[in-house]
A and B are shown apart, each in its own frame.
Chain A
């Protein structure tokens, strides 16, 4: 076959380089909401270039299967992306993480399992890269599936623990590494290779089940990073630099987000992954010292009572949490904010890094409800403003506003940076009941003299609050 210029390795490699540069520029443009849309389009164009270049590769001889796969995948992907509710974004990202990891593992598997047909000899770093790709990719697939099931509430969101859990996982991990070593020595050992796949899939499930719902931001970030690292390892298998570059970019991104989430909870990654936080705290802490002590009285308010206080207020800070997402209350919250602004009150939103179930979850929901992004303020920036604020409204948030994190050294969340809502003149807490949050940690905020509880479904309460303010 005559190799035309378009099919030459140099042309294809140059196209890959352009694609990698587009990814970097695209991600760089995510640094501001003004340039972010064009950044995303740049990255998408880079991907298109990479795909077209690959289709021109002289090694690609059959197109039917490829076109079929792309058509099916595009239809599925587009249907998902256009229909998904913004509140379900964590599930969507979990699903995409899993698919990305699985695709990389499949490519590496195909490379190893087609050895008899292709006669390819795998030496040097390739056997190692194949095993790493399959191992990380498989863990990402099943780990993401469990995260998805928890977020979608197909299974309970709590931490699943059993005696000897660490031991079982440790033993499995060591067996897995042993088998991986066998495959690296002899890539023809197909049975050992299937063992690696099976154990990795199993380990992905077992590693994520002990992690509770509120720790999901860390898990999703970490799995995000894994999907990139799996792609990176596949790049080594195929000696393809675009995969290496893109994979490392995504790997770095996920690791940074993981780090940010851990810092925002004042916990180490090891503690999040192996601490089984939700389960442990419920068994030890919920009826312990904090719960048993007489913490004082709870002041319950109706929305009408609250409207009286708003009538004298000049500044309001809204603190949204996962409860706002569950109740789909973001539009009602925007309406309340607009009503307050019409009354001449300044309204800001305080966003804790781990509010919700994934990094940035609250920002997306409020943006969906048309809240201008300049009203969404990060924790460190807004904390000094609480003492000068008339009313802080806590909607479906709990641990991220718990003063125990600041004051009570015995508390499991001691040291976690929080939003200091308690220093506001008045605090309204909208909550279903007095039940403690996921970790079973009692919240002294609810018993403070300047805190008023408004009980009920977040959406209903916010709607009647807005109504009461309008009618006052």
Chain B
């Protein structure tokens, strides 16, 4: 029923889920907030689809929807990575001079 590309994508999906579970369970609760904002930035990958929709000459409607999607996805990407960086830079170990 499913054609080859769909099966290939499904294979990738399942394998990626396993990889995701493996690496995410190793993130300590200490960093769960940066994990959320960082993974948020990664879900901004949908910008790839937004660029294709806006730039590929598929009619006015597609361009407009694509443009809005680009703006939102970019907020996600830029905002997500920047705020994650800002947070992670705050996590410091005990200084040797302090008791």
> Are B91 and A249 in contact (CB-based, < 8 A)?
no
- With contacts A103-B69, A125-B2 taken as known, whether A252 is within 8 angstroms of B87 at the C-beta atoms is no
State whether the Cβ of A294 lies closer than 8 Å to any Cβ in chain B: no
State whether the Cβ of A242 lies closer than 8 Å to any Cβ in chain B: yes
Contacts of A41 in B (CB 8 A): 85
State whether the Cβ of A244 lies closer than 8 Å to any Cβ in chain B: yes
Against A, the Cβ 8 Å flags (1 = close, 0 = not) of B63-88 are 10111111111111111111111111
> Are B92 and A360 in contact (CB-based, < 8 A)?
no
In chain A between 200 and 247, which residues have their CB closer than 8 angstroms to a CB of chain B?
220-221, 224, 227-228, 230-232, 234-247
> Are B55 and A51 in contact (CB-based, < 8 A)?
no
> Are A96 and B76 in contact (CB-based, < 8 A)?
yes
Contacts of A44 in B (CB 8 A): 41, 81, 85
- With contacts A24-B19, A237-B49, A372-B98 taken as known, whether A107 is within 8 angstroms of B72 at the C-beta atoms is no
Against B, the Cβ 8 Å flags (1 = close, 0 = not) of A338-374 are 0001000000000101000011110110011010111
Contacts of B25 in A (CB 8 A): 256
State whether the Cβ of A1 lies closer than 8 Å to any Cβ in chain B: no
> Are B42 and A96 in contact (CB-based, < 8 A)?
no
Interface SS majority for chain B: helix
- With contacts A61-B55, A360-B32 taken as known, whether A30 is within 8 angstroms of B73 at the C-beta atoms is no
Pick the residue among A37, A61, A89, A99 that contacts B89 (CB under 8 A): A37
Residue of B at shortest CB range from A99? B72
In chain B between 1 and 53, which residues have their CB closer than 8 angstroms to a CB of chain A?
2-3, 5-6, 8-9, 12-13, 16-17, 19-21, 23-53
CA distance A1 to B44 in the complex (A): 31
> Are B70 and A70 in contact (CB-based, < 8 A)?
yes
> Are A78 and B82 in contact (CB-based, < 8 A)?
yes
Best-buried of B32, B53, B66 by chain A (most CB within 10 Å):
B32
> Are B35 and A106 in contact (CB-based, < 8 A)?
no
- With contacts A78-B79, A81-B83 taken as known, whether A253 is within 8 angstroms of B35 at the C-beta atoms is yes
In chain A between 44 and 99, which residues have their CB closer than 8 angstroms to a CB of chain B?
44, 47, 50-51, 54-55, 57, 59-63, 65-66, 68-70, 72-74, 76-78, 80-82, 84, 86, 89, 92-93, 96-97, 99
State whether the Cβ of A43 lies closer than 8 Å to any Cβ in chain B: yes
CA distance A101 to B69 in the complex (A): 10
**Chain A interface bracket (under 10, 10 to 19, 20 to 34, 35 or more):** 35 or more
State whether the Cβ of A322 lies closer than 8 Å to any Cβ in chain B: no
State whether the Cβ of A375 lies closer than 8 Å to any Cβ in chain B: yes
A118 → B minimal CB distance (Å): 5
Contacts of B49 in A (CB 8 A): 104, 107-108, 234-235, 237-238, 240, 243
> Are A373 and B93 in contact (CB-based, < 8 A)?
yes
State whether the Cβ of A124 lies closer than 8 Å to any Cβ in chain B: yes
CA distance A27 to B40 in the complex (A): 12
CA distance A125 to B9 in the complex (A): 10
State whether the Cβ of A114 lies closer than 8 Å to any Cβ in chain B: yes
Pick the residue among A51, A106, A251 that contacts B72 (CB under 8 A): A106
- With contacts A37-B85, A63-B55, A125-B6 taken as known, whether A81 is within 8 angstroms of B19 at the C-beta atoms is no
CA distance A311 to B11 in the complex (A): 63
- With contacts A31-B28, A92-B83, A247-B45 taken as known, whether A227 is within 8 angstroms of B58 at the C-beta atoms is no
> Are A358 and B33 in contact (CB-based, < 8 A)?
yes
Residue of B at shortest CB range from A241? B12
Residue of B at shortest CB range from A82? B82
A20 → B minimal CB distance (Å): 8
Contacts of B36 in A (CB 8 A): 93, 220-221, 224, 253-254, 257, 358-360
Contacts of B55 in A (CB 8 A): 55, 59-63, 65-66
> Are A27 and B38 in contact (CB-based, < 8 A)?
yes
- With contacts A234-B46, A375-B94 taken as known, whether A57 is within 8 angstroms of B31 at the C-beta atoms is no
Best-buried of B41, B49, B61, B88 by chain A (most CB within 10 Å):
B49
State whether the Cβ of A113 lies closer than 8 Å to any Cβ in chain B: yes
The 3 closest A-B pairs by CB, nearest first: A73-B74, A252-B20, A69-B70
- Not counting A100-B40, A103-B69, A253-B20, a sample of 17 additional A-B residue pairs whose C-beta atoms are within 8 angstroms of each other reads A57-B52, A66-B51, A69-B70, A77-B79, A81-B86, A89-B87, A96-B37, A96-B79, A103-B46, A124-B5, A228-B39, A228-B42, A234-B46, A238-B52, A364-B87, A367-B91, A372-B93
A-B contact list, 7 entries, CB within 8 Å: A43-B42, A60-B51, A81-B78, A110-B58, A235-B49, A363-B32, A367-B90
Which residues of B line the A interface, CB within 8 A? Answer: 2-3, 5-6, 8-9, 12-13, 16-17, 19-21, 23-59, 61-63, 65-95, 98-99
